[in-house]
Structure 1
Amino acid sequence: MIPNLDLIKINDNLPLIKQFLEDLIIKPRVDIRKWSEITKQTPTLKIGYIGQHLTSLILGMEGGRTGARGHDIIDGTEVKSCTKVDQSDKCKDCGERLMRSEVICFNCESENIKRNDDSKWLFSIRSLEELNQYKELDRVFLLISDYPNFKDNDFTSVRFEAFEIYPRNPRMPNFNFLIDNHYNNIYLPKINNNQKTNPMNFHPYSFQFYLCNPIKIFSCIIDNIDTNATINITKYINPNVDRTNLVSEEMPIELLSYNELINFVTNNDFDSIIKPNLTNQNQSRQQLLSSISRNKNTWKASMPFLNEIARNTIPLREIVSLTQTNSYRRN
């Protein structure tokens, strides 16, 4: 988890990151939204290669000069990007697809709109060689753009965050477990049964995501992105910093099921594992169990987050693979 300092050649990173966001995110967005109002085509700007440029600026390392093949970053880091910004939405009444900017359905004039927020990182693992390549990576870099105030239907602020996972590090064994499981228990059975296969879906801020102990190294919010944009970088870990002792992201307790929480509180050492996560340090195990109801708000009041030590006692859930029965069809 120690960066290769010899490969860090991009300096003055924070000003460069801000200028990049201005040039490649904010300015193009203004133009594409203007044309989107005329064409009614999605204003989404794909984040794939743009994400790799931003990754180089965050890590201070150049790309591998290979496009879609070879190293994304010169040190071998694998970059995965996803965006939840300007996803296609859907009218709950008539089923028509809508743009994020539309507040009334053009077809039935309903205001009952489902705002989608399900974009994820995709890991294609189609051979034993690809599986082993992922498992031997020194670093996986996960970049996401989303709306920090999505639940409030606020689409004026856009957030960029970046996380690192180290597949070979003993702090992060669950990542390899997930890709192993996908290849051996999902991909291969489908191939053997001549069924449609899909990449492994890795959902940001999900139960599985936090159990991989990701380390956040970058966070930035662009407010008023479509009018008078301002860029506020709230977290940035310099490229030359040793990641070994950096704290991984705390997991929101609400991601656990009721039974998972009860098992966690009942079966773990109280003083070393449970107590550090409590808001009231004077609370006993029995008092905690008595206060927990099936209302998740009571969980969050007692124990809002779980640190890495606590998360490491929680097993991954069984992953069920669903067979796609319906093919895509244009209306």
Structure 2
Amino acid sequence: MDIKTKIQGYTEEINAFNASSAEEIEAFRLRFLVNKGIVRSLFEEFKTVSTEEKRELGQVLNVFKQLAESKHKSLLEQIADNSDKAGGSTQDLTLPGKGLELGSRHPLSLVRKEIVGIFNKMGFIVAEGPEIEDDWHNFSALNFPEEHPARDMQDTFFIEKKEGNDIALRTHTSSVQVRMMENGKPPFRAIMPGRVYRNEAISARAHCFFHQVEGLYVDEDVSFADLKQTLFHFVQELYGEDTKVRFRPSYFPFTEPSAEMDISCTICKGAGCTLCKWSGWVEILGCGMVDPNVLENCGIDSKKYSGFAFGMGIERITNLKYVIKDLRLFSENDIRFLRQFETETI
């Protein structure tokens, strides 16, 4: 039997075919339309015919393929219409709709809000500034010497080199303190949360961007005792009344005297563990009295006013609060990690 006769016979079969169930329609599909079905086998046989016959048979074969496909489609539509008319729809309209899945707050956002809330209770307002800063606000006004290593390309993302006033991504939110003191008059009592950038290799303990909260208090007769009591109260509120605090002498260009503040390890409670390197203490922030040069750079009389400043990394605070050992988890958007904080409230 030649291919043309086969096509005529199968065409008559398709035209005469009717189905009363989904099973019969599926049988039709398996007979004609699958890879090993009749349509495919006819196309394989078509390859063997002579060149003279291919032009005529090609058109006939394409019409036959379209007939089989349209027949299958019309059978599906027909059985669907019959099912709806008979009240046999596969959709249960009484079922409740699917609710929208709500996200959760990021752990850094949770801790940031908690930090801001604690200082708000002590009278600190929130101040913000640009993430792209010039050299004056990022370094010079804060008493950084020209040769200070923080100005080096290995630590700072420079955007544009300008004579005497380079443009860079801010390396700390201290630049917001400078802008506040330049544009206002004491007293100042504010915290500056925000994202900062440093040209560092990304690892479990470091990242090229992270988040800080810095604080500034400038007024008449501000003392180091005021600084210690403010930060001591902050730690007690954040980590609990049993948390111990100690201050160690340090150096920062914009504060004098300067100190680093440690707290008793929240994991081992001071007994010693890998997080605190078996010392029982973990550093959480740097602080000090605002250097008189910084006050003068911002147009404030350093003989009349004094102040203190502090700064902490939100990632470090979050690490201690939730025992998170890898900083990269904060920026990888791993839903398995983020879902652990769905029930967290402030």
The structure with the greater share of residues assigned to helix is 2
Which structure has the larger Rg? 2
TM-score, normalisation: structure 1: 0.25
Alignment TM-score, normalising by the size of structure 2? 0.24
